Structure 1
Amino acid sequence: MSDIDWQAPWLADWRAVGEPIAQQVATGCPQHQALNAARRASVRFVPQDDLPEGQAYEDFIFARGQVPTREGLHDFFNALCWMHFPLTKKRLNQLQAHEIARAGVGQVRGKVRDAATVFDENALLVQPSDALWEALTGHRWADAFMGLRSEWAHTRVWAFGHAALEKAVQPYKSITVHMWRVPLGVPSQDIDAWLAQDLTETKLSQKPFSPLPLLGLPGWWPDNENPSFYADPTVFRPKRRPSPIEKPHADQDYEALS
């Protein structure tokens, strides 16, 4: 917990709640106890050992309203997400649990569970103009981050994915998140309720994600003030069109898609 830089821009919305909890954990308080003491979540956090052997994690949460929690950054940020986006996290859990009830756990999660997992672990919510969204999803990185740079001052961004936040504790250039577009008319205070409604089985099964190198966001990393930062095709990849016979596997790593 001592490694977390609470001044990082991607933690701006998480700092007020998360930093005091992290300080308690750093002094030796068990993570689930520190999280519960904050009284900010609609679920309770329990030790990982409370998850019965053979029961699916998401099914356990759905049945009991309890979240098995390991020590460490990954589950810490997951818990903070439950505090900041309670309706959305509940919706994601419902989607996972319903799919498990319908099809079982299995070796392959299937489209809906796979997409819900990608969102849960790696989503970044972005509320851009049409021009900025088209540049981002078209991988026109110079346009998105330099030509339209002034737009980022009034483009709202919300961090969501807890795995992405864990990676960002030790930032590196190729951290890639998956954008989910928020319409311009959605107020910040309504983002959780809107998102919970927007996450439908149909929409998720279409995998409407677009990759974004996290440290490319203007103001989020000092090196990106230099246009040459974006001239790295190993990170800021051009748009790749799949061939007609190319069909990504349901469990394919989305961070590898460009």
Structure 2
Amino acid sequence: MRHVAPTREAFDRRVLAVPPLAHWQAYEPLIAAQAWPVTDELNALLPAGSSQHFVTQDKALLDDGLHYEERIARGAVATRPGNWHDLFNALVWLRYPALKRALNARQVEEIARMGPRERSRPQCALTHFDEAGIIVTLRDPRMLAAWDRHDWHALFWTHREAWVRGDARVEIFGHALLEHALTPDKLLVGKALVVMGGGDAVEACTRAIAGGGILNDPQELRPLPVSGVPGWHAGTADEAFYTTAPCFQPIRAGRLYPAALGALPGSDEPVIADVIA
């Protein structure tokens, strides 16, 4: 069923105080205002010298015949006016420009290889992450092992304090996931890349994507019911939530996940972490 976001006039602004939207408070005026922001307002927030800018999507723009991603590579992020999906896409561009550029560069490479009408496995993976992506940082390999077997109770309840302390963290990257968060109490499931240890998880993912080492198949992405993160949903106060809510699905037979990303001490280069449960 296609998701229908609430109207700007009617949406419950209390969702802005609850994660994940609470983590986007810097952009709350653009989200909560009665009037939709226009592209000029969004462009004013870009850093000087930005290689991309937002342009209103209209017939004249679409008549250029370019693929959406090809247009971005030339500097123009097509943005539909009065549209939640595209507004959140713009906000992600403002917060994570290097990561968005890495995804776009990979998409353009695939378009050149496949043509504009065919989609490769890497394109599907890149799109899934762009729309519903999350970046998860963990320090405890036991949490990764629990995630590997979809033991949601262990991941979120047994290791609850790790989430509360910030030793386990989630950053929402996917703009469709942010759009879904406008609906109160909606159970959210993201498509995750996971980084073990400290360091800059976003930078590690950006470098790995740009280098072509990850997101070559959708099966690389781990589903994570982010509504299970303590405090992200009212149900997280109840232990039974983790065994009864429909977002907590068992692992499919034969499903295996790739190793986590990590960063070598003293190195900027992302590596595949050797994590042993």
TM-score range (shorter-chain normalised) is 0.7 to 0.9
Q: Assess if the C-alpha contact under 8 Å between 1:112 and 1:201 holds in 2.
A: no
Aligned position for 2:134: 124
Aligned position for 1:89: 100
Aligned position for 2:41: 34
C-alpha displacement at 1:228, in angstroms? Answer: 1.5
Aligned position for 1:21: 30
Deviations along 1:142-170, whole A, 9 cap, x unmatched? 11111111111221221110001100110
Cα distance, 1:234–1:59 mapped onto 2, change above 3 Å: same
Secondary structure of 2:177's match? helix
> TM-score normalised to the size of structure 2?
0.78
Cα distance, 1:54–1:89 mapped onto 2, change above 3 Å: same
Q: Assess if the C-alpha contact under 8 Å between 1:177 and 1:213 holds in 2.
A: yes
Aligned position for 2:4: none
Aligned position for 1:170: 183
Deviations along 1:100-129, whole A, 9 cap, x unmatched? 1111122x4111110000010011111112
Secondary structure of 2:63's match? coil
C-alpha displacement at 1:28, in angstroms? Answer: 5.1
Provide the rounded CA distance (Å) in 2 between the counterparts of 1:89 and 1:29: 21
Aligned position for 1:198: 208
> TM-score normalised to the size of structure 1?
0.83
C-alpha displacement at 1:53, in angstroms? Answer: 5.2
Aligned residues: CA RMSD: 2.1
Aligned position for 2:160: 149
Aligned position for 1:253: none
One of 149, 159, 181 as aligned partner of 2:194: 181
Q: Does 1:225 align with 2:237?
A: yes
Amino acid at match of 1:68: A
Q: Assess if the C-alpha contact under 8 Å between 1:92 and 1:116 holds in 2.
A: yes
Cα distance, 1:28–1:76 mapped onto 2, change above 3 Å: closer
Amino acid at match of 2:198: G
Aligned position for 1:250: none
Provide the rounded CA distance (Å) in 1 between the counterparts of 2:36 and 2:231: 34
C-alpha displacement at 1:171, in angstroms? Answer: 3.7
After superposing on structure 2, the runs of 4+ consecutive aligned residues of structure 1 that deviate more than 4 Å are none
Amino acid at match of 2:102: R
The alignment-based identity, stated in percent, is 34
Provide the rounded CA distance (Å) in 2 between the counterparts of 1:37 and 1:169: 25
Provide the rounded CA distance (Å) in 1 between the counterparts of 2:88 and 2:237: 28
C-alpha displacement at 1:136, in angstroms? Answer: 1.8
Amino acid at match of 1:179: A
C-alpha displacement at 1:52, in angstroms? Answer: 2.9
Structure number with higher helix proportion: 1
Cα distance, 1:180–1:171 mapped onto 2, change above 3 Å: farther
Q: Assess if the C-alpha contact under 8 Å between 1:51 and 1:60 holds in 2.
A: no
Provide the rounded CA distance (Å) in 1 between the counterparts of 2:205 and 2:127: 15
Cα distance, 1:93–1:57 mapped onto 2, change above 3 Å: same
C-alpha displacement at 1:173, in angstroms? Answer: 4.4
Aligned position for 1:103: 114
Provide the rounded CA distance (Å) in 1 between the counterparts of 2:47 and 2:227: 29
Provide the rounded CA distance (Å) in 2 between the counterparts of 1:118 and 1:46: 23
C-alpha displacement at 1:184, in angstroms? Answer: 1.3
Aligned position for 1:213: 225
Secondary structure of 1:97's match? helix
